[in-house]
Amino acid sequence: MRVAIIGGGIAGLAAAYELETARAAGANADYTLFEAGSRLGGSLSSEAVDGAVLERGPDSFLTEKRAAIDLCRELGLGGDLLPSNDAARKTYIVVRNRLVALPDGLMFLVPTKLVPTALTRLFSLSTKARMALELLHPPRVDHRGDETVAALVERHFGAEVVDRLADPLLSGIYGGSAAQLSARSVLPRLVEMEGQYGSLTRGMLAAHRRMNAAAKTQVRNGKSNKNAAAPVFTALRGGMQQLIDTLAARLHPAAVRLAAPVSGLAKTGQGWSLNVNGASEMYERVIMAAPAWAAGVLLRPVDPALGEDLSAIPYSSSITVNLIYSEARLGRLPEGFGFLVPVVEGRALLACTFAHRKFLGRTPPGKAVFRAFLGGTQNEALLTETDDVLAAIVRRELSEILGAKTIGLNVEPEHVCVSRWRRAMAQYAVGHQERLAHIGARLAALPGLRLAGNAYDGIGVPDCIRLGRRAARELLAS
Ligand SMILES: Cc1cc2nc3c(=O)[nH]c(=O)nc-3n(C[C@H](O)[C@H](O)[C@H](O)COP(=O)(O)OP(=O)(O)OC[C@H]3O[C@@H](n4cnc5c(N)ncnc54)[C@H](O)[C@@H]3O)c2cc1C
């Protein structure tokens, strides 16, 4: 079986690894991975500067989604997995230029602890009163239709919680806005809870009780409760690039083609014909792991409805700016991992991670690494600014938010690394599940084709790995 994999991001690489593993075990699996760019990894890319690991794209994966950790262990990287420094975990929201810590007990945007919620400076008194009354919220009767996250959260907790909590948290994950993202796709648990309990707070408290009871039962039965000690995030000592380099080294060198953009795709009697750098090549199966906007263009001639559905999935762009400072030249930083900036604050910065605090041991002693995010759906124009302008914006806003005594404008960073990610993050807009159902129906008529990547069923690195590997396994079984 000859398989073409289109796209060498983490989804395409995970698919290739699965096929390579099967091939090495004797399966009839011959594959070629086509990557348009000059390097593998897509959004995963890190740089080592004087002993500091800088993440240009993602810095870690959620520990509870096992696909990434399982893959790292399979690749022999278990010893290089690095837990987030959860003892120091604290995240702030910028409210009128001041940092306000997220209150303790927030679960998926839902407050579950009375005292921290009552005492926080994040919300006004009227919002706090509304949060208390939320316990009486009736179940939603017509819960089958989709809606925006903003509509769901506002119905329960009010507009201030959308602006100060939902929006900044989602823009940190999706680079998108709560007013566009689909509640059913992004917060399916909350949608279910609303149908069952009415009140999201009651639903979350019930889920919490069930989790605690399950953990106690495990302990009673002599099993260790692994999740209790698990860090929220896991990274790699050498950065995400370590995963990409290790994966690439496992693939057959002749099976990986860089600077090989697939520019045409056609279905033939025997399989698929690909146009690459002016030449035509035949394959029996295809794993499409390019972004949906690129997949849409390639698949439109094969199935116009499928092409249209894929092209209609929106994407957002973002920019990361990593800055290394000498700690001796900075004032005292607030505790914790960093802060999120609500859109209503009117800033270019969306978020900033204190990378040297979030993952210990990847920054030399005496250095601080700030990893700032800009862009998102609201601020795409920033992509055309020069590196110098972007670095100057970040330095000015950091100084305004953290205070000139902490990080003065006269203090020069020792190193600056700017990365632009154009149309890199799929946005699960309202109606995403219906669109996926259409796409699934069209794919059923094209059995030699599979899709993988962040546009479908999970935006994070673990989801992309899971979908890439699943696509390969399905083709092997077909
Ligand atoms: C700044 C940033 C921070 C993030 N932070 C996190 C995080 O901390 N944790 C987390 O879990 N996730 C994070 N994510 C999300 C996650 O990194 C991405 O969703 C994931 O890496 C996407 O992988 P992919 O393989 O689907 O797509 P991509 O990485 O976009 O790869 C697709 C590849 O296809 C190639 N391609 C396109 N067209 C063609 C063609 N015609 N022919 C051949 N090749 C083609 C592209 O060149 C690209 O290399 C972040 C993303 C970004 C951008």
DSSP E strand boundaries for 73-228: 81-83, 91-95, 98-101, 106-107, 110-111
Would the CB of 235 count as within 6 Å of ligand 1?
no
pLDDT beyond 60 at 228? no
Q: Residue 351 is part of a domain; what is its CATH number?
A: 3.90.660.20
Tell me if 64 is assigned to some domain. no
Please give the distance, rounded to the nearest whole angstrom, from the Cα atom of residue 202 to the centre of ligand 1. Answer: 37
Whole-number pLDDT of residue 109: 84
Please state the atom number of ligand 1 nearest to the C-alpha of residue 62.
11
Q: What is the DSSP letter of 413?
A: -
288 and 332 within one domain: no
Of 152, 150, 131, which is closest to residue 142 (Cα–Cα)?
152
Evaluated on CA atoms 88, 94, 97, 103, the torsion sign reads negative
| Confidence band, pLDDT 50/70/90 cuts, at residue 213 | confident
Whole-number pLDDT of residue 144: 67
Please state the atom number of ligand 1 nearest to the C-alpha of residue 453.
26
Q: Which residues pair with 181 in a beta bridge?
A: 429
Tell me if 92 is assigned to some domain. no
Whole-number pLDDT of residue 143: 59
pLDDT beyond 80 at 229? no
Whole-number pLDDT of residue 176: 87
Residues 6+ apart with CB under 8 A from 47: 53, 54, 56, 239, 241, 322, 417
Would the CB of 7 count as within 6 Å of ligand 1?
yes
Whole-number pLDDT of residue 413: 97
pLDDT beyond 70 at 225? no
| Confidence band, pLDDT 50/70/90 cuts, at residue 208 | confident
| Confidence band, pLDDT 50/70/90 cuts, at residue 108 | confident
Tell me if 237 is assigned to some domain. no
Residues 6+ apart with CB under 8 A from 289: 5, 6, 7, 8, 9, 11, 12, 15, 451, 452, 453, 468, 471
Whether residue 320 contacts residue 383, with contact meaning beta carbons closer than 8 Å, is answered with no
pLDDT beyond 90 at 378? no
Whole-number pLDDT of residue 167: 93
Whole-number pLDDT of residue 83: 96
Q: Residue 270 is part of a domain; what is its CATH number?
A: 3.50.50.60
pLDDT digits (tens, 9 = 90+) for 26-43: 999 999 999 999 999 999
132 and 179 within one domain: yes
Would the CB of 453 count as within 6 Å of ligand 1?
yes
pLDDT digits (tens, 9 = 90+) for 390-433: 999 999 999 999 999 999 999 999 999 999 999 999 999 999 99
Tell me if 183 is assigned to some domain. yes
272 and 354 within one domain: no
420 and 271 within one domain: no
Tell me the mean pLDDT in the region 226-237.
Answer: 82
Tell me if 89 is assigned to some domain. no
Whole-number pLDDT of residue 226: 53
Comparing 213-217, 314-318, 401-405, which segment has the lowest mean pLDDT? 213-217
Whole-number pLDDT of residue 223: 67
Would the CB of 448 count as within 6 Å of ligand 1?
no
pLDDT digits (tens, 9 = 90+) for 429-448: 999 999 999 999 999 999 89
Please give the distance, rounded to the nearest whole angstrom, from the Cα atom of residue 37 to the centre of ligand 1. Answer: 12
Residues 6+ apart with CB under 8 A from 301: 264, 265, 266, 307
Please give the distance, rounded to the nearest whole angstrom, from the Cα atom of residue 41 to the centre of ligand 1. Answer: 7
Tell me the mean pLDDT in the region 336-344.
Answer: 94
The domain of 24 spans 2-41+243-314+429-477
Comparing 218-227, 384-393, 394-403, which segment has the lowest mean pLDDT? 218-227
Tell me if 248 is assigned to some domain. yes
Q: Average per-residue pLDDT in the chain?
A: 94
Please state the atom number of ligand 1 nearest to the C-alpha of residue 290.
34
Q: Whose CA is nearest to atom 8 of ligand 1?
A: 58
Q: Residue 138 is part of a domain; what is its CATH number?
A: 1.10.3110.10
pLDDT digits (tens, 9 = 90+) for 112-152: 888 898 999 999 999 999 999 999 998 877 656 899 999 99
Please give the distance, rounded to the nearest whole angstrom, from the Cα atom of residue 11 to the centre of ligand 1. Answer: 8
Pocket test for ligand 1, best of 243, 288, 300, 454 (most atoms within 8 A of CB): 454
Would the CB of 247 count as within 6 Å of ligand 1?
no
Pocket test for ligand 1, best of 59, 461, 463 (most atoms within 8 A of CB): 461
150 and 12 within one domain: no
Would the CB of 40 count as within 6 Å of ligand 1?
no
pLDDT digits (tens, 9 = 90+) for 160-169: 999 999 999 9
Stated pTM of the model: 0.95
433 and 286 within one domain: yes
Tell me if 212 is assigned to some domain. yes
Whether residue 478 contacts residue 468, with contact meaning beta carbons closer than 8 Å, is answered with no
Please state the atom number of ligand 1 nearest to the C-alpha of residue 43.
29
359 and 287 within one domain: no
Whole-number pLDDT of residue 214: 77
Q: Which two tokens stand for residue 274?
A: 């690909």
Q: Give the chain's domain count.
A: 3
Tell me if 469 is assigned to some domain. yes
Q: What is the DSSP letter of 164?
A: I
Tell me the mean pLDDT in the region 328-334.
Answer: 96
pLDDT beyond 80 at 227? no
Give dist(CA 350, CA 175) in Å, integer: 8
212 and 123 within one domain: yes
